[in-house]
A and B are shown apart, each in its own frame.
Chain A
Amino acid sequence: MGLQILYEILNGQDDVFAERVYAPWVDMEAAMREADIPLFTLETHSRVAGLDVLGFSLQHELVYTNVLNMIDLAGIPIFARDRDASYPLVIAGGPGAVNPEPMAAFFDLFVIGEAEELIVEFVDIIKDWKINGGGDKQGLVRRLSAVSGVYVPSFYDIDYTADGLIKEIKPAEGAPAAVRRRIVKDFSKTNVPIKPVVPFVDAVHDRCSVEVMRGCTRGCRFCQAGMIYRPVRERTKEQIISGISQILDNTGYEEISLSSLSSTDYTLIEDTLRTLSDKYTDRGISISLPSLRVDSFSIQLVKEIARVKKTGLTFAPEAGTQRLRDVINKNVTEEDILTTARTAFEAGWQRIKLYFMIGLPTETKEDLQGIVDLAKKIVDVGWQTLDIPARNRLMVAVSVSAFAPKPDTPFQWVAQNTLEEFEGKLKFLGEHIRGRHLTFKWHNAKSAVVEGAIARGDRRVADVIYNAWRLGCRFDAWTREFKYDRWMQAFSDAGLDPGFYAARERAFSETLPWRHIDTGVAEDFLQDEYKRALSGEITEDCRFDSCSSCGVCTSLDADNITFGDFTVLTKKATGAKK
C-alpha cells in the first residue's frame, strides 16, 4: 500500500521518476548473475545503481536477506559506510523501521512513520542538492536528517555493557535524542491513490484497494500494527466511493477491497458497503473485506457483500481460552465466537478458518486445550446449523502460528518461547485437532524464532543478517527456501546467541535498542499494559470508551478522526465485556 501511495505522489511531480524494483526469484537471480545483468527497474529497465535514491519498504523481518541481495544484485556496496556519493542513497521505511537497528548498517537513513508528506520535503532537498552539483553525500544526509521523521543511524553511537546490554544511545551531529514518528494528522485530507499499476501476472492484492482508515485502537497487546499506526483516522465515505470509481475507470479491476487494520470498525462501513454493492454487484465486480472481527455484525456485512462471490471466512480468536484472550486484550467472548460461527453457517458458509497463536505470555496447557475445544465446538455448531447435504462439506480449518514479540508493543519485554517449546505445543495440537471436519495447519516455528530474534535485535544483529545472506539465505518467509541451520550458523559466526534477543525476559529498566525511535506510544503505557495483561485486565477502545493514555495523541499532536457514530461499535464492545 505504502509503495503505491508514494509511487503516485512521486510520479505526480514534474522532475521525479519513481520506478519499481522487486527481488527476483532464485532462478531469475541465478540467470542474472550468470549473464552479468545488474538489477534493473521494471518501468524503463534502468540500472538501479544509477538512481538517486533506492528505497525499501521493510514489511517484516524475514525479507531482510532479500534486501541485502537486491542491493548486491544492483552492484551497490551492501554496507552504508562503503558507499560514496556515486551510489544511490539507500533508504527504508515501513513497519520494520520502528526498530531499524538490525538493518542500521545497510541504510543511509530511515523514514519513521507515514511518508506521504515527508517524501515531498525529502525530494525537494535532493533536487536542490543535485542542482548545486551534488557530491557531498554527508552534507546531503545532514540536510535530510532535518526533515521530521528521518533517522540517520550513523548519527548515533551505541555503547554496550559487559553483559551485552545497551548502556547508552548517544546522539551526535546535533541529532535529536529520539526521532519522532511522522504521521498525516488528517488522513481524509490526503488523496486516494487512483492510478495503481495493473500487473499482467497473477499477483497478490491485484485489485482495486482503498484504505478506508489508518490505525486501530482495539489495543490487542501482541499487535504491533495496533500500536504503531495510532491514532485512528478515517476517510470520508465520499472519498472512498469516488476513489473506487476512479480506480475502476483507470484499471478495469473486477474486485474492490476496503483495506485497513480492521475494516468492520470503520464507522461508515455499513453505508459504504451498501452503496458499493448497489452500484457494482450487477456489473460482476466483487467486494471484499480483508480483515474481519469476530462478531455477528461483521457476518451480516459480509452477507451483504457476498452476493457476488462467496470466498472463505477467516476469524482470529488468537487464543483458546477467555483467560488468555483477556491477557492479550482480544475482546471477544466464546459466546461471540460461537454466535458468529452460527450466523456464518446460517448465511451459507460451510468452511471457516480460525487463526490462533501459540507461545503467548502466560500460556498453559489449558489454553492449548482451549484451541482444540473451541474448534470442536464450532464443528458442533456447524453440524447443528447446516442442513444434511451441506454437513458433508463442513470444514473448520485451524491455522496456528508461533508468536514473536515485537518492539513497541506491551509484550516487547517478554521472552519468546524456544523452538523446543513451540514444537512441543504444535505436536500436542496436531495430535488433538483431529476429526472428519477439522484440518490443522501451522506456520514454521523455526522461522518465528529467527523473526523473533531479529525483531528485537540491536545493531550487532546486522552481522547475522549479512552472514545469513552470504550463506545463501533468501526468501526466508517462503518455507521451502527457509534455511534454519544457516541462520543458526550466521548467529554463531557473528558470536551472538539468538536466545539473547528472542527468548530472554527483559527488565523494564533495560535500554531497549529502539529507545531512540519514538512512535508516540509512551513506554509507561506499554509497561502498564503489560502489567494489566499479567493480571488479565482488559483495556477498552478509546474511540468509544475512556482514553487509555497511550500518549500518541499528545505526543504527535493528533486525535482519532471518525465520521460516523459509534452505536454499532459500542454495542459490540459492551457485548464483549460480559
Chain B
Amino acid sequence: MPKLLVQYGKNGPLRYLSHLELIRAIERSFRRANIRIQMSRGFNPRPKISHGPALPVGIGSLAEYMVVDVEDPVAENNLLEKVTSVLPKGLSIYRAKYIEGKQSSIMSAVQSAAYQVEVKFSSGVEDIASLVARFREEDRLPIRHKDKEKWVETNKAILDWQVGRKTGDVYDFYILLSIGDQNSLRPDVAITKLSEMFPRLGRVESLEICRIEQYVNRGNPLINIYNFYEGVKMGSERNK
C-alpha cells in the first residue's frame, strides 16, 4: 500500500483555520484533485491521512507534514501539480515522496519545532538579547494559558532562542521548542510570558509566528521530518 509523505504550508488568512478545518480543507482538495485516498474500516470510515502535531490557530507554517494512504500510486510531480491546482489560496504543497509502510507516525516522531517570530512590544528596549538570556536562565516558570496555570520546565521546553535583526520596532526571533512531552510550550505563550516578566517591554502589540521546520530530535545536527523518513521508489514508473 503506497504511503505518501507530504510537506505543506499554511499562510495568510488561512493561518486562522483550526486543525479540524485544515484537515477538512486538505481532504476536500485531494477529492477535487481526484486523488483517491484509502478509507479506514469500521462504523464511521475516514480517509487515511495521519497528521503531525496540530498547529495553534493563528500561526503560519512552511513545514507541516502528513502521511497519506493513496489508493493508486501517482507520480509525485503529477500529484503535486494536480493538488496544487485545486488548493485554496493560503495552502501550499511543497514536496512529496513515497515512504515505507511500517514506520513510526509523524505524531510520535516529532521532538522539536522551529519558529520564526516577528513581534512588536508597545515599548521597545535596546537590550532584548539580555532579557531573552535572563528568561532562559530560569529553570521553570508558571505558565498561564486559557485560564489554567501550570509550572513548565522552560529550560527543557526552550531549546534555542536566537535574537535576529530588529527592523523598526519589530524584533525578529528564531525559537526552537520541544514538542511531545509535558515540558512543551507554545511560541505565542512564550512571547507573552517574556513580556510579563519584563514589564518595560510593554504589552505584545503585534505578533506573527511561522513554524519553519519540525525535527525528530532536539540537538545538533537536527534531522527534519522529511529527511527522516526514507523514500522508496514508487509511482514514477506507473505514471498515471
A286 to B40, CA, bound (A): 14
In the complex, whether B31 has a CB less than 8 A from a CB of chain A is: yes
- The stretch from B17-25, B97-105, B117-125, B159-167 touching chain A is B17-25
Q: A200-B14, A283-B36, A284-B39 are in contact. Are A253 and B31 (CB under 8 A)?
A: yes
By the criterion CB–CB under 8 Å, are A252 and B32 in contact? yes
Q: Which of B27, B31, B39 contacts A248 (CB 8 A)?
A: B31
By the criterion CB–CB under 8 Å, are B36 and A201 in contact? no
Give the number of residues in B that approach A within 8 Å (Cβ atoms).
22
In the complex, whether A347 has a CB less than 8 A from a CB of chain B is: no
A253 to B43, CA, bound (A): 19
By the criterion CB–CB under 8 Å, are A200 and B32 in contact? no
A253 to B47, CA, bound (A): 13
A282 to B39, CA, bound (A): 8
In the complex, whether A249 has a CB less than 8 A from a CB of chain B is: yes
Residues of chain A within 8 A (CB-CB) of B39 are 282-284
In the complex, whether A32 has a CB less than 8 A from a CB of chain B is: no
By the criterion CB–CB under 8 Å, are A254 and B32 in contact? no
A254 to B127, CA, bound (A): 54
Report the minimum CB–CB distance from B47 to chain A (whole Å).
6
Q: A254-B27, A309-B44 are in contact. Are A202 and B21 (CB under 8 A)?
A: yes
Report the minimum CB–CB distance from A135 to chain B (whole Å).
38
In the complex, whether A53 has a CB less than 8 A from a CB of chain B is: no
In the complex, whether B168 has a CB less than 8 A from a CB of chain A is: no
By the criterion CB–CB under 8 Å, are A200 and B47 in contact? no
Residues of chain B within 8 A (CB-CB) of A4 are none
By the criterion CB–CB under 8 Å, are A310 and B17 in contact? no
In the complex, whether B65 has a CB less than 8 A from a CB of chain A is: no
Q: Which of B21, B30, B43 contacts A252 (CB 8 A)?
A: B30
Residues of chain A within 8 A (CB-CB) of B24 are 200, 202
In the complex, whether A198 has a CB less than 8 A from a CB of chain B is: yes
By the criterion CB–CB under 8 Å, are A254 and B45 in contact? no
Report the minimum CB–CB distance from B45 to chain A (whole Å).
5
In the complex, whether B184 has a CB less than 8 A from a CB of chain A is: no
By the criterion CB–CB under 8 Å, are A252 and B14 in contact? no
In the complex, whether A41 has a CB less than 8 A from a CB of chain B is: no
Closest chain B residue to A286, Cβ basis: B45
By the criterion CB–CB under 8 Å, are B17 and A252 in contact? no
Report the minimum CB–CB distance from B165 to chain A (whole Å).
32
A200 to B28, CA, bound (A): 10
In the complex, whether B7 has a CB less than 8 A from a CB of chain A is: no
By the criterion CB–CB under 8 Å, are A200 and B25 in contact? yes
Give the number of residues in A that approach B within 8 Å (Cβ atoms).
17
By the criterion CB–CB under 8 Å, are A252 and B36 in contact? no
In the complex, whether A251 has a CB less than 8 A from a CB of chain B is: yes
A254 to B17, CA, bound (A): 19
Residues of chain B within 8 A (CB-CB) of A309 are 44-45
In the complex, whether A308 has a CB less than 8 A from a CB of chain B is: yes
Q: Which of B14, B28, B30, B44 contacts A198 (CB 8 A)?
A: B28
Report the minimum CB–CB distance from B151 to chain A (whole Å).
32
A253 to B14, CA, bound (A): 19
Residues of chain B within 8 A (CB-CB) of A242 are none
Closest chain B residue to A206, Cβ basis: B24
By the criterion CB–CB under 8 Å, are A284 and B45 in contact? yes
Give chain B interface residues in 1-55, CB to chain A under 8 Å. 14, 17, 20-21, 24-25, 27-32, 34, 36, 39, 43-47
A249 to B30, CA, bound (A): 10
By the criterion CB–CB under 8 Å, are A252 and B20 in contact? no
In the complex, whether A535 has a CB less than 8 A from a CB of chain B is: no
Residues of chain A within 8 A (CB-CB) of B36 are 283
In the complex, whether A511 has a CB less than 8 A from a CB of chain B is: no
Closest chain A residue to B43, Cβ basis: A310
Q: A201-B21, A284-B39 are in contact. Are A252 and B45 (CB under 8 A)?
A: no
By the criterion CB–CB under 8 Å, are B30 and A284 in contact? no
By the criterion CB–CB under 8 Å, are A254 and B31 in contact? yes
1/0 per position for A276-319, CB-CB distance to B under 8 A? 00000011100000000000000000000000111000000000
Residues of chain B within 8 A (CB-CB) of A252 are 27-32, 86
A251 to B28, CA, bound (A): 7
Q: A254-B27, A284-B47 are in contact. Are A249 and B21 (CB under 8 A)?
A: no
Report the minimum CB–CB distance from A311 to chain B (whole Å).
10
In the complex, whether A250 has a CB less than 8 A from a CB of chain B is: yes
Report the minimum CB–CB distance from B9 to chain A (whole Å).
16
A220 to B43, CA, bound (A): 37
By the criterion CB–CB under 8 Å, are A253 and B45 in contact? no
Residues of chain B within 8 A (CB-CB) of A308 are 45
Report the minimum CB–CB distance from A255 to chain B (whole Å).
11
Give chain A interface residues in 236-265, CB to chain B under 8 Å. 248-254
A308 to B44, CA, bound (A): 7
A249 to B32, CA, bound (A): 5
A201 to B13, CA, bound (A): 13
A310 to B46, CA, bound (A): 14
A23 to B36, CA, bound (A): 37
Q: Which of A250, A283, A310 contacts B32 (CB 8 A)?
A: A250
A40 to B157, CA, bound (A): 43
A283 to B28, CA, bound (A): 13
Residues of chain B within 8 A (CB-CB) of A250 are 32
By the criterion CB–CB under 8 Å, are B17 and A200 in contact? yes
Report the minimum CB–CB distance from B129 to chain A (whole Å).
36
A251 to B34, CA, bound (A): 11
1/0 per position for A329-372, CB-CB distance to B under 8 A? 00000000000000000000000000000000000000000000
19 examples of A-B residue contacts, CB within 8 angstroms: A200-B17, A200-B24, A200-B88, A202-B20, A202-B21, A202-B24, A248-B31, A249-B32, A249-B34, A251-B28, A251-B32, A252-B30, A252-B86, A282-B39, A283-B36, A284-B47, A308-B45, A309-B44, A310-B43
Counting from the closest, the 5 A-B pairs by CB-CB distance are A252-B28, A252-B31, A252-B32, A284-B39, A200-B21
Apart from A198-B28, A253-B28, 19 more pairs, CB < 8 Å: A200-B25, A202-B24, A248-B31, A249-B32, A249-B34, A250-B32, A251-B32, A252-B29, A252-B31, A252-B32, A253-B31, A254-B28, A254-B31, A282-B39, A283-B36, A284-B39, A284-B45, A309-B44, A309-B45
Residues of A within 8 A of B (CB): 198, 200-202, 248-254, 282-284, 308-310
